[in-house]
């Protein structure tokens, strides 16, 4: 949580190493810090930095983390999900191991979910879950698949998925699953038609898409129109 100090350290690393992998890791982390702080005015400069770094290091397996971050930036900051999908699909053609493949698929599923392609996203999350069921990334994919069902309003199916994840080995995943499980379960008990929850889930989804103004309108309407829920 100290980005300025982190940036100083990463810049020190860049000035004192010739190791290409370490340089890519440092540049990726520095870009993450810049993106977190960025406003729309900064986006062209960040885009140019991605282009410069990928021209320097190439678009191979060694720069995979940089390409994944670029896809995330393009989708969630500049609303260019189509270009992100192209980048990530190209990454899947590289000679990568199963964990790298899962990482790329996870980002691609996140992009598809952002772009309201719920079923395609769910297929990819399920593939990761099945391929790496004993790993934390498998549990993370299960959680995201369950959230996709929740965003779509498939609450009964989502409830089953979240119930299974309450005992996940990762405490963070278990806690997230428990929170939404209780939300759906409590809503089910008070309103079996899920009138308010449908709006709430849509608001949550808009927050996922970084559409905070639209989400705020929905949450305010729930406070006004669904006071008893």
Token reading at 189: 């008990």
Tell the burial category of 153 from Cβ atoms under 10 Å away from its Cβ (0-12, 13-18, 19+): middle
Give the model's pLDDT for residue 228: 77
How far is 194 from 197, CA to CA, in rounded Å? 5
Q: How many residues does the chain have?
A: 229
pLDDT at 170: 86
Q: What is the pLDDT of residue 193?
A: 87
Instruction: Please classify residue 38 by burial: count the beta carbons closer than 10 Å to its beta carbon, then call 0-12 exposed, 13-18 middle and 19+ buried.
Output: middle
Token pair for 173? 């995943």
DSSP string for 29-97: HHHHHHHHH--GGGHHHHHHHHHHHHHHH-SSGGGHHHHHHHHHHHHHTT--HHHHHHHHHHHTTS---
**How far is residue 16's CA from residue 156's CA, in Å, rounded to a whole number?**
55
Q: What is the pLDDT of residue 145?
A: 97
* Structure confidence at residue 88 (pLDDT): 98
How many C-beta neighbours within 10 Å does residue 90 have? 12
Query: 3-state secondary structure string, 120-171?
Result: HHHHHHHHHHHHCCCCHHHHHHHHHHHHHHHHHCCHHHHHHHHHHHCCCCCH
For residues 113, 201, 220, 39, the Cα torsion angle rounded to the nearest 10 degrees is -20
Q: What's the CA gap between 67 and 84, in Å, rounded?
A: 9
Q: What is the pLDDT along the chain (229 residues), one digit of tens a residue?
A: 999 999 999 999 999 999 999 999 999 999 999 999 999 999 999 999 999 999 999 999 999 999 999 999 999 999 999 999 999 999 999 999 999 999 999 999 999 999 999 999 999 999 999 999 889 999 999 999 999 999 999 999 999 999 999 888 788 999 999 999 999 999 988 888 899 999 999 999 999 999 999 999 999 999 999 887 7
What is the rounded distance in angstroms from the CA atom of residue 49 to the CA atom of residue 56?
11
Tell me the C-alpha distance between 91 and 204, whole Å. Answer: 30
pTM: 0.94
**Token code pair at residue 57:** 């290091």
């Amino acid at each position: 949580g100290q980005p300025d100090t982190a940036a100083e350290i990463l810049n020190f690393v860049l000035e004192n190493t010739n190791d290409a992998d370490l340089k890519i890791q440092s540049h990726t982390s520095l870009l993450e810090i810049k993106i977190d702080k960025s406003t729309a005015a900064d986006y062209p400069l960040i885009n140019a930095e991605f282009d410069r770094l990928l021209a320097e290091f190439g678009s191979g397996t060694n720069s995979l983390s940089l390409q994944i971050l670029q896809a995330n930036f393009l989708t969630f900051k500049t609303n260019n999900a189509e270009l992100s999908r192209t980048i990530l699909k190209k990454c899947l053609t590289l000679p990568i191991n199963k964990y790298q493949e899962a990482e790329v698929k996870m980002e691609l599923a996140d992009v598809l979910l952002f772009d309201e392609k719920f079923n395609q996203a769910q297929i990819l999350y399920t593939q990761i879950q099945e391929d790496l069921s004993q790993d934390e990334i498998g549990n993370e994919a299960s959680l995201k698949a369950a959230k996709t069902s929740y965003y779509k309003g498939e609450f009964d199916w989502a409830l089953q998925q979240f119930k299974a994840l309450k005992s996940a080995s990762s405490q963070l995943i278990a806690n997230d699953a428990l929170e939404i499980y209780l939300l759906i379960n409590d809503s089910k008990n008070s309103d079996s038609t899920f009138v308010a929850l449908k709006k709430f889930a849509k608001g949550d989804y808009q927050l996922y898409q970084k559409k905070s103004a639209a989400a705020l309108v929905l949450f305010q309407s729930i406070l006004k129109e669904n006071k008893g829920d």
